[in-house]
Amino acid sequence: MEAIRRKMQALKLDRDGAVERAEQAEAARKAAEGRCGQVEEELAHLHRQLQGAEDEVDQHLEDLKEARARLALAEKKAADVSMRLAGSK
């Protein structure tokens, strides 16, 4: 009878330990889910920032292309004027 009582006590201790570990694991899971949610929100924010930066770069590249075209036209006009002036002398 004493052996059964000791065995029951050991099983109870094992069960209590298992319940405690399960509760700790559940708390750790919830904390990890919370951190995961925060990281996902930060990732979405960073993705939006990146998209905005890419759009801005695209706009600057387009502006640069237009500025280069205007510069080429201005240089051509300047060369034409120089040639006319040189030809009239």
Residue 31 pLDDT exceeds 90: yes
CA distance 72 to 60: 18
Which of the 8 DSSP states describes residue 89?
-
pLDDT in tens, 34-52: 999 999 999 999 999 999 9
Q: Is the dihedral of CA 65, 67, 68, 73 positive or negative?
A: positive
11-44: burial string, b at 16+ Cβ within 10 Å, e else: eeeeeeeeeeeeeeeeeeeeeeeeeeeeeeeeee
Residue 88 pLDDT exceeds 80: no
pTM to 2 decimal places: 0.61
Which alpha helices (H) appear in the chain, and where do they start and end?
2-87
CA distance 58 to 64: 10
